[in-house]
Amino acid sequence: MEAATTTGRQLSGEKAQRIVDAMRTCVGRRGATGATFEHVAREAGVSRGLLHYYFGTKERLLAEVVRRDCDLRMERLSAGSAGATTAEELLGGLAGSLLELMDESPEFFVILLELHSLGHQNAEVATELTELHRRVRVHLARILSAARDQGLVRLDGDPEVVAEVLFSLADGLAMRMLAEPARDFGPTIEGALRAARALVTAA
Protein backbone atom coordinates (compact mmCIF):
# COMPACT_ATOMS: atom_id res chain seq x y z
CA MET A 1 0.00 0.00 0.00
CA GLU A 2 1.36 3.42 -0.90
CA ALA A 3 1.48 5.78 2.06
CA ALA A 4 -1.50 8.10 1.99
CA THR A 5 0.76 11.01 2.83
CA THR A 6 2.61 11.16 -0.47
CA THR A 7 -0.26 12.70 -2.49
CA GLY A 8 1.47 11.44 -5.64
CA ARG A 9 4.52 13.67 -5.16
CA GLN A 10 8.09 12.45 -5.00
CA LEU A 11 9.11 12.78 -1.35
CA SER A 12 12.68 11.55 -1.61
CA GLY A 13 14.15 14.96 -2.43
CA GLU A 14 16.27 17.07 -0.11
CA LYS A 15 13.62 19.79 0.20
CA ALA A 16 10.93 17.29 1.18
CA GLN A 17 13.20 15.87 3.88
CA ARG A 18 13.92 19.39 5.16
CA ILE A 19 10.18 20.01 5.43
CA VAL A 20 9.64 16.77 7.36
CA ASP A 21 12.53 17.60 9.71
CA ALA A 22 11.20 21.14 10.15
CA MET A 23 7.76 19.86 11.10
CA ARG A 24 9.33 17.56 13.67
CA THR A 25 11.31 20.47 15.11
CA CYS A 26 8.29 22.78 15.19
CA VAL A 27 6.18 20.18 16.95
CA GLY A 28 8.91 19.80 19.55
CA ARG A 29 8.85 23.56 20.18
CA ARG A 30 5.17 24.43 19.75
CA GLY A 31 3.21 21.20 19.91
CA ALA A 32 1.35 19.72 16.98
CA THR A 33 -1.44 22.30 17.10
CA GLY A 34 0.93 25.26 17.15
CA ALA A 35 3.18 23.95 14.36
CA THR A 36 1.56 25.80 11.45
CA PHE A 37 2.61 25.66 7.80
CA GLU A 38 3.98 29.18 8.23
CA HIS A 39 6.28 28.10 11.06
CA VAL A 40 7.34 24.94 9.24
CA ALA A 41 8.09 26.80 6.00
CA ARG A 42 10.24 29.31 7.87
CA GLU A 43 12.11 26.56 9.72
CA ALA A 44 12.72 24.64 6.48
CA GLY A 45 13.68 27.73 4.49
CA VAL A 46 11.05 27.08 1.81
CA SER A 47 7.80 28.68 0.69
CA ARG A 48 4.45 27.67 2.11
CA GLY A 49 3.46 26.79 -1.44
CA LEU A 50 6.08 24.05 -1.51
CA LEU A 51 4.56 22.49 1.61
CA HIS A 52 1.17 22.42 -0.09
CA TYR A 53 2.77 21.00 -3.26
CA TYR A 54 4.41 18.09 -1.47
CA PHE A 55 1.88 17.35 1.27
CA GLY A 56 -1.37 19.19 0.60
CA THR A 57 -2.47 19.41 4.22
CA LYS A 58 -0.92 19.68 7.66
CA GLU A 59 -2.42 16.32 8.58
CA ARG A 60 -0.61 14.62 5.70
CA LEU A 61 2.65 16.24 6.71
CA LEU A 62 2.20 15.09 10.30
CA ALA A 63 1.48 11.57 9.06
CA GLU A 64 4.60 11.65 6.88
CA VAL A 65 6.71 12.62 9.90
CA VAL A 66 5.33 9.67 11.84
CA ARG A 67 5.78 7.32 8.86
CA ARG A 68 9.46 8.20 8.58
CA ASP A 69 9.93 8.05 12.34
CA CYS A 70 8.31 4.60 12.32
CA ASP A 71 10.99 3.53 9.85
CA LEU A 72 13.62 4.76 12.31
CA ARG A 73 11.81 3.06 15.18
CA MET A 74 11.94 -0.25 13.34
CA GLU A 75 15.65 0.25 12.69
CA ARG A 76 16.17 0.88 16.42
CA LEU A 77 14.19 -2.25 17.30
CA SER A 78 16.34 -4.32 14.97
CA ALA A 79 19.56 -2.79 16.31
CA GLY A 80 18.46 -3.16 19.93
CA SER A 81 17.62 -6.84 19.53
CA ALA A 82 20.61 -7.76 17.37
CA GLY A 83 22.98 -10.16 19.06
CA ALA A 84 20.62 -10.99 21.94
CA THR A 85 21.16 -14.52 23.22
CA THR A 86 18.61 -14.58 26.06
CA ALA A 87 15.10 -13.32 26.74
CA GLU A 88 16.53 -10.80 29.20
CA GLU A 89 18.93 -9.41 26.62
CA LEU A 90 16.17 -9.20 24.03
CA LEU A 91 13.78 -7.32 26.31
CA GLY A 92 16.59 -5.08 27.54
CA GLY A 93 17.47 -4.20 23.97
CA LEU A 94 13.85 -3.41 23.12
CA ALA A 95 13.52 -1.22 26.22
CA GLY A 96 16.74 0.52 25.26
CA SER A 97 15.33 1.33 21.83
CA LEU A 98 12.36 3.07 23.49
CA LEU A 99 14.59 5.14 25.77
CA GLU A 100 16.76 6.07 22.80
CA LEU A 101 13.70 7.20 20.87
CA MET A 102 12.49 9.24 23.85
CA ASP A 103 15.89 10.85 24.20
CA GLU A 104 16.43 11.67 20.52
CA SER A 105 12.90 12.20 19.13
CA PRO A 106 10.30 12.66 21.90
CA GLU A 107 8.15 14.62 19.46
CA PHE A 108 7.43 11.31 17.70
CA PHE A 109 4.95 10.47 20.46
CA VAL A 110 3.53 14.00 20.50
CA ILE A 111 2.72 13.75 16.79
CA LEU A 112 1.44 10.20 17.15
CA LEU A 113 -1.01 11.30 19.85
CA GLU A 114 -2.13 14.21 17.67
CA LEU A 115 -2.75 11.87 14.74
CA HIS A 116 -4.85 9.56 16.91
CA SER A 117 -7.08 12.52 17.72
CA LEU A 118 -7.23 13.60 14.09
CA GLY A 119 -8.01 10.05 13.00
CA HIS A 120 -11.42 10.27 14.66
CA GLN A 121 -12.30 13.08 12.24
CA ASN A 122 -10.23 12.28 9.16
CA ALA A 123 -10.60 8.92 7.41
CA GLU A 124 -7.33 9.34 5.49
CA VAL A 125 -5.37 9.90 8.70
CA ALA A 126 -7.09 6.92 10.32
CA THR A 127 -6.14 4.71 7.36
CA GLU A 128 -2.53 5.89 7.52
CA LEU A 129 -2.34 5.23 11.27
CA THR A 130 -3.69 1.71 10.82
CA GLU A 131 -0.97 0.99 8.27
CA LEU A 132 1.77 2.50 10.42
CA HIS A 133 0.75 0.44 13.45
CA ARG A 134 0.54 -2.68 11.31
CA ARG A 135 4.06 -2.19 9.94
CA VAL A 136 5.76 -1.74 13.31
CA ARG A 137 3.70 -4.54 14.88
CA VAL A 138 4.65 -6.99 12.13
CA HIS A 139 8.29 -5.89 12.32
CA LEU A 140 8.52 -6.59 16.05
CA ALA A 141 6.56 -9.83 15.63
CA ARG A 142 9.18 -11.01 13.14
CA ILE A 143 11.96 -10.19 15.61
CA LEU A 144 10.16 -12.16 18.32
CA SER A 145 9.42 -15.06 15.97
CA ALA A 146 13.05 -15.26 14.91
CA ALA A 147 14.20 -15.35 18.55
CA ARG A 148 11.67 -18.08 19.30
CA ASP A 149 12.64 -20.12 16.25
CA GLN A 150 16.30 -19.88 17.26
CA GLY A 151 15.42 -21.32 20.65
CA LEU A 152 16.30 -18.14 22.52
CA VAL A 153 12.88 -17.34 23.99
CA ARG A 154 9.39 -18.69 24.51
CA LEU A 155 6.39 -16.54 23.64
CA ASP A 156 3.17 -16.69 25.65
CA GLY A 157 0.95 -16.04 22.64
CA ASP A 158 0.97 -15.27 18.95
CA PRO A 159 3.99 -13.09 18.03
CA GLU A 160 1.79 -10.24 16.76
CA VAL A 161 -0.31 -10.31 19.92
CA VAL A 162 2.82 -10.21 22.08
CA ALA A 163 4.21 -7.38 19.94
CA GLU A 164 0.94 -5.43 20.34
CA VAL A 165 1.06 -5.74 24.12
CA LEU A 166 4.74 -4.72 24.25
CA PHE A 167 4.00 -1.65 22.12
CA SER A 168 1.04 -0.79 24.35
CA LEU A 169 3.33 -0.86 27.38
CA ALA A 170 6.02 1.17 25.64
CA ASP A 171 3.74 3.80 24.11
CA GLY A 172 1.73 4.27 27.30
CA LEU A 173 4.94 4.69 29.27
CA ALA A 174 6.26 7.17 26.71
CA MET A 175 3.15 9.33 27.08
CA ARG A 176 3.61 9.48 30.83
CA MET A 177 7.29 10.32 30.46
CA LEU A 178 6.33 13.22 28.18
CA ALA A 179 3.78 14.48 30.71
CA GLU A 180 6.24 14.37 33.64
CA PRO A 181 9.74 14.92 32.22
CA ALA A 182 11.31 15.64 35.63
CA ARG A 183 10.10 12.41 37.22
CA ASP A 184 12.35 9.37 37.68
CA PHE A 185 10.73 6.61 35.64
CA GLY A 186 13.37 3.99 36.40
CA PRO A 187 11.11 1.96 38.73
CA THR A 188 8.21 2.19 36.28
CA ILE A 189 10.38 0.95 33.42
CA GLU A 190 11.47 -1.97 35.56
CA GLY A 191 7.81 -2.70 36.31
CA ALA A 192 7.04 -2.69 32.59
CA LEU A 193 9.91 -5.12 32.02
CA ARG A 194 8.49 -7.45 34.67
CA ALA A 195 5.19 -7.41 32.84
CA ALA A 196 6.97 -8.08 29.53
CA ARG A 197 8.82 -11.05 31.06
CA ALA A 198 5.46 -12.78 31.49
CA LEU A 199 5.10 -12.82 27.69
CA VAL A 200 8.72 -13.31 26.61
CA THR A 201 10.41 -15.92 28.78
CA ALA A 202 13.62 -17.93 28.75
CA ALA A 203 13.53 -20.93 26.44
Using DSSP bridges, classify how beta strands 200-202 and 153-155 pair: parallel, antiparallel or unpaired.
antiparallel
Per residue in 178-190, pLDDT (tens digit) is 999 999 999 999 9
Give the separation between CA 180 and CA 201, rounded to whole angstroms.
31
pLDDT of residue 113: 84
Buried b (16+ CB within 10 A) or exposed e, 158-195: ebbebbbbbbebbeebbeebeeeeeeebeeebeebbee
**Dihedral angle, C-alpha 141, 144, 150, 155, nearest 10 °:** -110
pLDDT of residue 11: 52
| pTM of the shown model | 0.83
Output the tens digit of pLDDT for each of the chain's 203 residues. Answer: 334 444 445 555 788 889 999 998 888 788 778 889 999 999 999 999 999 888 888 888 988 888 888 898 999 999 999 999 999 999 999 999 999 989 888 888 888 888 888 888 888 788 888 999 999 999 999 999 999 999 999 999 999 999 999 999 999 999 999 999 999 999 999 999 999 999 999 99
Q: Does domain 4-202 match CATH 1.10.357.10? A: yes
